[in-house]
Structures are given as structure tokens and as C-alpha cells.
Amino acid sequence: MLYLVRMDVKLPATLAPAEADAIKAREKAYSQGLQREGRWRHLWRVVGEYANYSVFDVESNDELHTLLSQLPLFPYMQIQVTPLAQHPSAIASAITAN
């Protein structure tokens, strides 16, 4: 199942810079692992914001929830999830079916 996920990060001003850097390093390692596995298919930065749009390819709502809640930055995120389905006019399905 494909999901479009918007993640907005809001780190508290009181978070020590060294701690913020450590959290970001863990976040990068975790997200890159999921990308290598194919479960985090796309990751796009929102220009001018500390936010991203991502596409996840996972088996269920529960799997997505688990992946997102294990993000090191999760406590500092506002997340919006949109389930995706193939559009009948999309040529991508016809190309991959041949």
C-alpha cells in the first residue's frame, strides 16, 4: 500500500544543539535504512520549511504507524497521512504491466 506522508518538524528552542544533532543523525540513519529496504520510496524536501513529503510502500496502516512512530524526530513532528490508490488514467500502470 502506498501512502503520501507530510512531516513537519518543530524542534523546541530549548533543545541543546548537540542533542538536536544526535537526533538528526539517528533520523538520517533510520530513514536511509528504510529507503534501502524499499519501504520509504520517495523523500522530498519542502522548500523553505523544515518539512518533507514522502511516499511509503508498506503492507498496512499498522506498519506505517510503527515506522513513523520509531522516527527519532517523531516527538517533534506533526504528520499528515494520505493513502494512495492507482488512478485509472495513469499510464504508469500500463507501462509496468507490459
Domain boundaries, the chain: 2-97
DSSP 30-72: HHHHHHHHTSEEEEEEPTTSSEEEEEEE-S-HHHHHHHHHTST
pTM: 0.89
Closest by Cα among 59, 57, 52 to 80: 52
Fold of 2-97: Alpha-Beta Plaits (3.30.70)
One pLDDT digit (tens) per residue for the chain, 98 residues: 999 999 999 999 999 999 999 999 999 999 999 999 999 999 999 999 999 999 999 999 999 999 999 999 999 999 999 999 999 998 876 555 44
Would you state the pLDDT for residue 92?
A: 74
Instruction: Give long-range contacts, CB 8 A cutoff, 24+ apart: 65-69.
Output: 67/34, 67/39, 67/40, 68/5
